[in-house]
Amino acid sequence: MKTLALILVAALIWAAGLLAFAIRVEQSTPAAEPEVADGIVALTGAGSNERIAAGMRLLEAGKGDRMLVSGVNREASREDIRDVSRAVQLLYDCCVDLGFEAADTFGNAQETAGWVRARRYDSLIIVTADYHMPRAMLELGSALPGIELQAYPVATPSLDAQGWWRTAGGARLMVMEYSKYLAILGRELVLRLGPKDEAPPEPARQGG
């Protein structure tokens, strides 16, 4: 009986967390107008066209000096991405960088970290899908300690954030994303609670 009770309590906690996660996604769009940052990063994935176009609009509005599109398909050309972004050619040529190495959100974070170090940026606007934003901010925050991150979530056309449970596809997407979010959250908790590197002892001073 105790085991069953523990399972039920765990299930209730998980369900409550899923509901809170879904409400967070629902309330995240339309995104608030971000403050000016050093750079803008658009993460690719499902609904990439909307994400890239939104990042480009921010760049055109002067919200950042440059934009990185992270996780671009290696078969895509710069012209393909320009068409998707609906960008002005001159601004696109001067101020948009494409990253082809990232294959997942962890890779996005590592690719972005390299770009930030090369550019010596201190602040970023992160553009990705509404449902993906919580996990993306966890990964990027871990890879970019000390960098100011602003979230700019983009609504997902295929997901009704207010009625996600009404369709099998919406429910599957929300549950999968919440589960991935919990996995990253658990990883970060373990890392923070793990053994800390100790400073090496100071060498003994010589007398005299």
The answer to the question of residue 8 being in a domain is no
The answer to the question of residue 17 being in a domain is no
Q: How many Å apart are CA 69 and CA 58, to the nearest integer? A: 13
Range of the domain at 83: 23-156
What would the two tokens of residue 119 be? Answer: 């550019």
The answer to the question of residue 89 being in a domain is yes
Q: How many Å apart are CA 93 and CA 30, to the nearest integer? A: 29
The answer to the question of residue 80 being in a domain is yes
The answer to the question of residue 191 being in a domain is no
The answer to the question of residue 199 being in a domain is no
Helix H or strand E encompassing 15: helix 2-27
Q: How many Å apart are CA 63 and CA 49, to the nearest integer? A: 19
What would the two tokens of residue 116 be? Answer: 């930030």
The CATH number of whichever domain residue 132 belongs to comes to 3.40.50.620
Residue type, 77: S
Q: How many Å apart are CA 131 and CA 128, to the nearest integer? A: 8
Cross-strand pairs, 187:
none
Q: How many Å apart are CA 72 and CA 137, to the nearest integer? A: 19
pLDDT by position in tens, the chain (length 208): 778 888 888 889 999 999 999 999 999 888 889 999 999 999 987 767 889 999 999 999 999 999 999 999 889 999 999 988 888 889 999 999 999 999 999 999 999 999 999 999 999 999 999 999 999 999 999 999 999 999 999 998 888 778 888 889 889 999 999 999 999 989 888 877 766 555 445 544 444 3
What's the structural domain count of the chain?
Answer: 1
The answer to the question of residue 176 being in a domain is no
Cross-strand pairs, 3:
none
Rounded (5°) CA angle 116-118-124: 20
Q: How many Å apart are CA 177 and CA 134, to the nearest integer? A: 9
The answer to the question of residue 11 being in a domain is no
> What pLDDT was estimated at residue 124?
98
